[in-house]
Structure 1
Amino acid sequence: MDGTTAIPGYDDTDTERWATEPDKRPGRTAFQRDRARVLHSAALRRLAGKTQVVTPGTRNPAWDASPRTRLTHSLECAQVGRELGAALGCDPDLVEAACLSHDMGHPPFGHNGEQALNDFAKDCGGFEGNAQSLRLLTRIEPKRFVTDPATGEPVSVGLNLTRAALDAATKYPWPRGENPDDPDSPKFGVYDDDLPVFEWVRAGAPAHRKCFEAQVMDWSDDVAYSVHDFEDGIHAGHIEPAMLLSAPERAGIWTVAIGRYVPEDTDPQELSDALDRLVAQDWWPDGYDGSAVAQARLKDATSQLIGRFCLAAEGATRQTHGTGRLTRYAAELVVPRETRNECAVLKAVADRYVMQRAEQEALRADQRVILAELAEALTLRAPEGLDPQFRALFEAAPDDRARKRVIIDHIASLTDASASLAAF
């Protein structure tokens, strides 16, 4: 067992690390160590400079909005996940570590940057933020090194988290093209280069199945970003709750939601019913005007929504699996369809009224140019322009494919601001 403290519901296999190491401070659990390593990592701190929905450093001059970043989103996701996981019998430190680390691999400019890097990486395995998170946790973030027996050189094992922590942070437990429901899906959790550690993490796990803690993390992610993006949109003046009563506006929201946030065969009436249920609540944030009273009402609505979504999942899961401790592969998280539809409606509202604004699309186009030009420039002059960590990896890379992956790793590590500066 890693450390001296047993963890109810988990065994030695769950707390094993890729590279065995002693505990420097006995008395902590293995998952407390995992949480501390993620919390103190440079990769987590860099998320403060990476886009969630609105680019960091921009603001609405009329509303003084302070938009979420990837870091604040990750912290909020961690708070939601810790409480939901604990209520269901998961180790709270394990779920919090997974929530904190789930977005670490996301590049500058959010999902827009992810698409740009995927275009650049199409001939060397593609780019996916979740696969990049695993790569970062197990290889890139410098915390622990081991000696390569073949060369005698030090080799990074990243944060060297436990098997259970890495599994809990894995939202898509399959390589590219192996999604069991949709082989053409762009979502995957591991690059070919990282299959050895992925296979170690997944030893004994059912193929393609997310562990229970990863399911809690995934739902906590959905809850946090749907509710907070909705809150940010109202606070910034882009969403007016009263307009959600308009039939034409609703039709536009359903168009965004169906296929993107709910299955293609979803009846729009289901979404209408979901929004009606939310609008009917006493705490629904009508008439927001930016005053202190309105801000407090909006914050209460945010808390009410998070509680509503989490309690629904907790209740449905307990009804299915009983009152025992639910961990690893002993259960599935159950989220009622009605609750998923309510969450999806909030996502679609933020998408339509915040992300699809004309000025945001113009900004995203500029960002894609920045990353394309940066990738081209580094391809021509690398190792010049690479940070020392990536310069060394580039020089040691065995072939062009591996060197290109190093360039991708370097770009993915940048913040929005540093990517913009590096391109000029």
Structure 2
Amino acid sequence: MGLITFKNLMLFDGKSQENLAHAWITVDQASGRIQQIGNGDLPSDIPTIDLNGQYVMPGFINVHTHISLDPQAFDGGFGKSQVETTVLAYQHLRELLKSGVTFIRECGCLFDLDIELSKMQQKGLLTDVPTIMPSGRLFVMTGGHGDAPGAAYQVDSPDEMRKAVRQGLKNGAQNIKMVATGGVMTPSDFMDDPQLSTEEMTAGVIEAHHKHKRVSVHAEGNPGIQNALDAHADSIEHGFYVTAKEAQQMVEQDTYLTPTLIAEWVIPKYGKNKIPSWELNKAADALDDTYKNLTRAYQLGVKFTCGTDAGTVFNGFDQTPAEFELLTKLGMTPAQAYQCSSINSAELCQIQADYGTLETGKFADFIVLKNNPLEDVKAVQQTDKQVYLHGLRQF
């Protein structure tokens, strides 16, 4: 494989506010990286692919997925065998890629499957799915949100957290995912129930940071959000009840927020008469507060990332494009919503040198759309979009 130039396209590179007209991109298909970008005269003597005036933008980075869960199973799909779960996870990865997601940070995976799949990917044995940043199992208190067989390390003291995080990193986790509050899907707790303590999380954050890894914390309500911030977590996942004071602390600490709006939105939309009333009510009651609290956090300067919590009930692996529409309800322009992925998600995952925006030297992970995504945020919801991974077409 040699050089190829994609020509006659409108380019949104993921960092600017406008499209580059009459653009072209030259890709080294051997390395999968962009060699040159321009508009006007094409490089000579290089084969071309004509995109016929369509719109090109970066593939999406989804920093909160659960590929081992089944969104059609009201219990999350726990109880399946490891073999069955592995097949399901591969199918979910393909769904993510077809939707335009070219990189994921998995945020808790049964049986450490994401770690094993990532190892296969690094060996070149798994080339037709998004690039995987694995977290392995969750870190939870005994009886807490996410405490299920094969799903979590049970930790009930700073020392237990320290040892568990060391074990997770030894196993191959590239991100550490902790749980600081209850959640929507657990019948025995609520969003404002504190779970892991600040002291327990701090011990894990220190260990992860020693290895230059990031820590993400499930924290929907308070005091859990505050506990996670005081432990210096790198990202707050969900953050539905974030206060103005906490938002200001996030700005000062450079803490990211992954709102997973779609995960909360789909439950009242699709759940009536299908799921237990306690689960439906938890999500419905929180939705209006979520928009108000997150809008304020965005206005105060908190950095938002793109994550969907894919795998939770009714929350399929094709929903990432819809998350951008919901982000615009917080006051973002379409470009700013996409930059939650192309800039902020890449920075959070510490992969901005290789992924995120479309620039010379970075991997050629991009999608091709019929309509202008900067004018209509729903353009990215096109179901038959072209998807390229490292310069090679996948869909």
TM-score by length of 1: 0.28
Q: Hey, which of these two has a bigger chunk of strand by percent?
A: 2
Higher Rg? 1
Q: Hey, which of these two has a bigger chunk of helix by percent?
A: 1
TM-score by length of 2: 0.29
